[in-house]
Amino acid sequence: MDTAPLKKSENQALVVGVDLGIKSLATLSNGETVVGKKPLKKLSRRLARLQRHLAGMY
């Protein structure tokens, strides 16, 4: 059974698959990675400071 290779349409070249992940926000099928913001460090320092402030009030 011989099968002819599939031809790519013109708009198919612009299509990219996306994989959402943990280490990076998204990895595209063309190899590019999208880094997401990591607000946890900044916000955890602020939370610790505010908790110390509240603990001193009582």
6 domain-assigned: no
Residue 10: inside a domain, yes or no?
no
Per the domain annotation, does 48 fall within a domain?
yes
**Mean pLDDT of the chain, nearest integer:** 82
Confidence of residue 54 (pLDDT cuts 50, 70, 90): very high
Neighbours of 26 (CB within 10 A): 13
Range of the domain at 46: 16-57
Handedness of CA 52, 53, 56, 58 (dihedral sign): negative
pLDDT reported for residue 47: 93
Statement: residue 10 has pLDDT above 80: no
Domain count, the chain: 1
